[in-house]
Structure 1
Amino acid sequence: MCGIAGWIDWQGDLSDQGAIIAQMAETLQQRGPDSHGHWVSRHAALAHQRLIVIDPLTGGQPMVYQDGDRTYAITYNGEMYNFRELRHELEGYGHTFRTRSDTEVLLHAYVEWGEACVQHLNGIFAFGLWDEQKQQLLLARDHVGVKSLYYAHRGSAILFGSELKALLAHPLVKPEVDATGLAEILTFVRIPGSGIYRNVHELRPGHMLICSEQGTRMSRYWSLRSAPHTDDLYTTAAHIRGLLEDTVKHQLIADVPIVTLLSGGLDSSGLTAMAAKELQHEGRELHTYSIDFVNSAQHFQSTPLHPSLDAPWVKRVSEYLGTHHHTITLENSALVESLLVPLHAHDFPTAGQMTSSLYLLFQAMKQDATVALSGEAADEVFGGYPWFHSEAALSGQTFPWTPAFLGPGKNPLAWLSADLLQKVQLTEHIDQQYRAAIAEVPRLEGEDPLAARRREMFYLNQTRFLPFLLERKDRMSMATGFEARVPFCDYRLVEYAWNIPWEMKMADDIEKGILRRAFASVLPEDVIRRKKSAYPNAQNPLYEKATREWALNILHDPNAPIHPFLDAQVVRALVESTDAGVPGIGLVSLPERLIQINEWLDTYQITLAL
């Protein structure tokens, strides 16, 4: 994994603009701490920060390939899992290679197939490829959106980067946020393709953008398609198992130590079992990692999202599979100290300790390894969350996870000022984005109303909730120079599972029943039957006390930039309330939100265009 940045200007001369492109790349140093480089021609400047995973000696970037009088340059972030097969295919067409890297394979794939090269890729990627002869830039992002890519048009120029901070480092991009961007931050309802900042965009998953002096052309190269599912239960489970075995095998390819995350839940346990089996064939022991919190058992309270502690199940699975397990136990003080890490990694306010704790986990893992397999997307693909099984959620007309982010009650945004609510129209924003998402759902002709509604629910989760989790995983891993791979995001599995009917996904009358059947041969029965438990949090009153005091200090500071956002009387009462920030009630507490928003307004020097 790496950090990429680029600056194209068809009407300007960038030949001596190496300092600015290097400045853009330097903001991404944490994504690629091992090496860096940049390449500049008259109208194109590309930069790269490298995290070495494959081909440490000759895989440096930006990578340039010359074929006669044609020059191609690429800056690439990600992993192409089928690069060995593609290399063999391209060699059959006469291509020769000087490195062992997947980057060079991608360059040659473009030479062979042009823009259609993305149709041949299986991996997680975001890249910018400059065709010097055509004076054309190709930006592309992986099928499901594991790797991020932002871009902005400014006059005759286009700028792009792995993270927003790379764009903000360029003098043409200002930290301006309009009402729509602010609504996205305050509601956690993002608009696909939005980059939060004014006139900044995020390339959507499964899309590519072709840019030339004549203009830009957006193209979607992959999407979900609805069709009748014709496989029986046994064949379906076997096919899922085969896809996952192949995916795990390919995602274990690395020239650096590779491990797995293990929570003791179905998803991570199944992947760990497959990875352990694969490594055993090579005579290697698998190392596994889990997160825990000081005094977690003492403070644990069962909730619908967290019905059980992970620790006993982690021990059960590790011993069963014979892995070398490491438990990373986090102190309360470390959680408080790292609360602002997610803000600076995302470049806008986001969730609190559920994100900062992940950063601390990866920070500890980085001491031993560079790559980990993780279980994200299984719940979105196979229907594991409680709201998939809730009549209220199925009959509702909004995003079912909204209360978990905004808090319970009929008016969870009451802490905001009346003036801000009038200008930003948060409720209307949520409704509008919900309707836009529903309008995109690929329908299946003849499907009964309940099945059609469930299809909507899956679409909402895969295109609106999963991006939050993938963005979180990318930023927190990359903030420590660590790579997280997500086998359940293999587009072949996502495509196949999309059309599996609900009754089959609920095989044996349990959530993700079909996935449990797929893992039945590699996990013990009690693990197979364990109820879904979400990523853990520290249900520690000391954390709640510390963040509440921090938030109150902000409220007492007359110069705090957040004040115009707030209904002072309401917000103070809420923060002083004993349950204002109790972990477990929601995915982010009010004090965490206040702290991050205030810091963002201050350190990013945000200009609001309301």
Structure 2
Amino acid sequence: MCGIAGVFASSKDCYIDSQILVNMAAIQHHRGPDNYGYCNPKSLGVGMSHSRLSIIDLNEERGRQPFWLNGTIIYAHNGEFYDFQRIRADLTAQGFQFKSKSDSEIVPRLFKHLGIDKTLEQLRGEFAFSLYDEQEDALYLVRDRFGIKPLYWTNTGEEIVFGSEVKVVLAHPSVNAEIDTHGLFHQLIQVMVPGTTAFKGISQVEPGHMLKITRKNGQFHIDTHKYWDMDFPELKMRSKHSEEFYISGVRKHLLEAVQLRLNADVPVGCYLSGGIDSCSILGLASATAQEKIKTFTIAFDNADYDETPIATEMAQSVGAEQEILTLNADLLYDNFERTIWHTERTIYNTLAVAKLMMSQRVRHVNYKVVLTGEGSDELFAGYPAFRKDMFLHGMDGLDQEQAAAWQQTLEANNKLFQGAMLPKDEYISDDINEKVGFTPSCLQPWLGCTGAAKQLIHQDRREEIIRYEPGTAIAEKLDQQYLKGRHPLDKAQYVWIKTMLEGQILTWGGDRVDMANSMEARPAFLDHKLAEFACLVPPEMRIKGNREKHVLREAMKGLLPETLYNREKFAFMAPPAHTDQDKWQKLKNLLDKFASPQRLEQAKLIDPGFLEILIQRQESHTTSDAEKIQNDALLNHVLGIMILYHHFVAQDISKVAYDKAQALGWVV
């Protein structure tokens, strides 16, 4: 798990400056503190750099990247490939030679042997990589199927600049930092348009996609290709098997995914909450590993949001060693600014800060790899919004009285999360309705912030978004091919995976806060072989009656404590600021610092008048709890935007990167 960076010029005659490449590696030193390298041969007009976190093959010289193969391929990789030993052995038997024991090296060998399309079929894991092929004079930028690993890029006209983080791209002196108005709007409502960022001109390679960039006569030709997507079968094509077939299949595929992710040349631990996802991972890992597994649990100082007792019960049941980190207002808000520096997008809840603090604890006790439970809710319909959509749209012939009772129970049991995980009020997007058939409940809380978000945007920019409909922009990015003819639950899960999974859970809840402390998280549920099997599970076995994740519960029944097996899904979220006076005061202090009248006037991003109205509403006794949850998210987003402006726009990131390189002694 590492950081990659690079520059692809519009002509082979352009030489890529070595120090710029090194600066781009230096500013993401947190992603790979073990060593670094760069490669920029003359007369190729391309250069790459790499900061390495050593996990497979700890030898610094053998594993150093970028790889330059026979003077024809330059390649840099971030992430992990599983089952790489089998691939390497097969290629070795065919006469290919390897210089390292690293999993990374299989890609350039496969590319030479099979070409890019067949290579991608072979890859299993979480990854982002860049590969330049001199024979084609082409640069490939590739991201894993779910977007677990990030990859950003921009086109300056003269150069394609890319890297594992936005700050890496901004470290190039030709790239300007500017907040995009539509990006600003989507930061305020939490849900992003796939492939976009908060910064003008800087894009992401979308999950399951590959860019092939060629050049001719000083012009870039960029071809975007989707190589994988979540493909739920059409209703008319869905096969029916026994319940045991799906239960045993889930168990088999998840066990294989966990076993593969235990492979490392360093110790591997587990994140552990009180949900069946992380508990299932721990149970399988404990049954597989020869040594006792170390677990890491976040505890909150509010019993309504704390899952520590159930996590402890699970740890004790398998004999795991549990490390508990208890977080309060001081820890959460004192580290808010640092979290935004790493997430490079706003956060609606301090859970992102909590996870950053936990990855710091993991490294403090000399671990740098953990298995996590992310992806389970996406595959097996765990979120309360999925049950709501199932009740509303997916149960043909269901007694309406029973459906209404189930929905009423669902909302009562998830009252803490109304305004975040469940909509406060119904929100309909005509364009999403047209494409999906309905507006999924998972998007409604955030799209429902549209009116407030438009009032929050500074009047100098308001004209750009006055007629802007965020649902339209999101709908345009959803692939009709994977929605047509599918069950409503399939559609709801697909929309969440394309929006909130990649844009939220795997960004500020995953890679960015993990790698902030040089720690690799491995989400076993997002193994694509498991995901492809999960697509085949009938909707009524994902949600059976009013019971979410039924097939997973049954597959893991023998591993889970009875309390957990029977427990309803509880969303993992940090206590919002309005629930505690200390937290509220901490949030207000940060707003006073970063969103003062002077800074608001300088940035011209946020309207000061409406910001003050939101703060007053949050302190009013007449504001409902659901509205306060939504307002809390908006205020966190405002704070995040102003921190983004402070760190990425108001200062020169290219200078910050050079200063970092100097401090590390990386001057070439």
Structure 2 counterpart of 1:416, one-letter code: L
Q: 1:556-609: CA deviations, max 9, x gaps?
A: 5334347744444442132133269989825953432232222222332269xx
Q: Is 2:228 aligned against 1:222?
A: yes
**TM-score between both structures, scaled by the size of structure 1:** 0.89
Change (3 A) 1:188 1:231: same
Contact kept, 8 Å, 1:59 with 1:103, in 2: the verdict is no
Task: Give the one of 148, 151, 154 matched to 1:152.
Answer: 154
Q: Secondary structure at the match of 1:604?
A: helix
Q: For the Cα contact (< 8 Å) 1:177–1:606, is it kept in 2?
A: no
SS of aligned partner of 2:150: coil
- 1:73 corresponds to which residue? 74
Q: Which residue identity does 1:113 align to in structure 2?
A: L
Q: Distance in 1 between matches of 2:167 and 2:157?
A: 20
Quick one: which of 331, 335, 348 aligns to 1:334?
A: 331
- Among residues 617, 629, 650, which one is paired with 1:585 in the alignment? 629
Could you tell me how far 1:157 is from its partner in structure 2?
Answer: 1.9
Partner of 1:241: 251
CA distance in 1, matches of 2:285, 2:14: 47
Q: Is the 8 A contact 1:35 1:51 kept in 2?
A: yes
Distance 1:417 1:265, change over 3 A: closer
Unaligned runs of 5+ in 2: 394-425, 430-438, 652-668
Q: Is the 8 A contact 2:184 2:641 kept in 1?
A: no
Q: Distance in 2 between matches of 1:439 and 1:16?
A: 37
1:401 is aligned to 2:433 = no
Match of 1:344 in 2: 341
For residues 1-51 of structure 1, what are the alpha-carbon distances to aligned partners after superposition, in whole Å with 9 as ceiling and x for unaligned? Answer: 100001111425454610111111111111111111111112111100011
With over 3 angstroms needed to count, the CA separation of the structure-2 counterparts of 1:556 and 1:604, relative to structure 1, is closer
User: Which AA in structure 2 matches 1:37?
Assistant: G
| TM-score, length basis structure 2 | 0.82
Asked whether the equivalents of residues 232 and 490 of structure 2 are also in contact (C-alpha less than 8 Å), the reply is: no
Query: What is residue 211 of structure 1 aligned with on the other side?
Result: 213
Q: d(CA) in 2 for partners of 1:63 and 1:4? A: 9
- Does the alignment pair 1:103 with 2:143? no
| Structure 2 counterpart of 1:413, one-letter code | A
In the alignment, does 2:498 pair up with 1:463? yes
Matched, 1:296 2:297: no
Residues of 2 paired with 1:141 and 1:149: CA distance?
A: 7
| Distance (Å, rounded) in 2 between the aligned partners of 1:505 and 1:376 | 17
**d(CA) in 1 for partners of 2:392 and 2:30?**
40
Aligned mate of 2:540, from 503, 506, 529: 503
User: Structure 2: how far apart are the matches of 1:71 and 1:602?
Assistant: 42
Q: Secondary structure at the match of 1:296?
A: coil
Equivalent position to 2:135, from 110, 133, 136: 133
Structure 1 residues 490 and 588: CA distance shift in structure 2, 3 A: farther
- Is the contact between residue 37 and residue 66 of structure 2 (CA under 8 Å) also seen in structure 1? no
State whether structure 2 residue 652 is matched by structure 1 residue 603.
Answer: no
Compute the displacement of 1:486 (Å): 0.4
Distance of 1:559 and 1:158 partners within structure 2 = 33
Instruction: Give 1:521 deviation, angstroms.
Output: 2.3
What corresponds to 1:374 in structure 2? 372
Change (3 A) 1:19 1:414: closer
Moved more, 72-81 or 350-359: 350-359
Instruction: Give the Cα separation in 2 of the matches to 1:350 and 1:588.
Output: 11
1:454 partner SS: helix
Which residue type is aligned with residue 648 of structure 2?
Y
When residues 248 and 156 of structure 1 are mapped into structure 2, their CA distance, relative to the original with a 3 A threshold, is: same
Q: How far apart in 1 are the matches of 2:602 and 2:308? A: 39
Aligned to 1:60: 63
Question: 1 CA distance for matches of 2:558 and 2:631?
Answer: 34
1:340 and 1:241 mapped to 2: Cα distance? 41
> What corresponds to 1:303 in structure 2?
none
Change (3 A) 1:170 1:582: farther
Instruction: Map 1:251-290 to 2 at 5 A.
Output: 251-279=261-289, 282=290, 284-290=291-297
Whole-angstrom distance in 1 between the partners of 2:461 and 2:214: 41
2:72 match: secondary structure: strand
- Report the Cα distance in structure 2 between the residues aligned to 1:433 and 1:606, rounded to whole angstroms: 29
**Amino acid aligned to 2:312:** K
Cα distance, 1:415 vs structure 2: 4.8
Query: Residues 276 and 285 of structure 1 are in contact (CA less than 8 Å); yes or no, is this contact kept in structure 2?
Result: yes
Counterpart Cα distance in 1 of 2:444 and 2:484: 30
Paired residues of 1:404 and 1:585 also in contact (CA < 8 A): no
Q: Which amino acid aligns with 1:84?
A: Q
C-alpha distance in 2 between matches for 1:367 and 1:417: 41
Question: Per-residue deviation at 1:441?
Answer: 5.4
Question: Are the counterparts in 1 of residues 286 and 292 from structure 2 also a CA contact under 8 Å?
Answer: yes
The change in CA–CA distance for 1:269 and 1:426 in structure 2 (over 3 A counts) is farther
Q: Percent identity?
A: 26
Residue-pair matches, total: 586
Letter in 1 for 2:619: T
Code of the aligned partner of 1:425:
I
Equivalent residue of 2:50, what SS? strand
User: Mean Cα displacement is larger for which, 481-490 or 89-98?
Assistant: 89-98
What is the SS of the residue equivalent to 1:255? Answer: coil
The offset of 1:145, in angstroms, is 0.9
- Distance in 2 of aligned mates of 1:8 and 1:232: 53
**1:535 equivalent in structure 2:** 572
Q: What is the letter of the counterpart of residue 230 of structure 1?
A: K
1:92 is matched with 93
Gaps of at least 5 residues in structure 1 are: 301-305
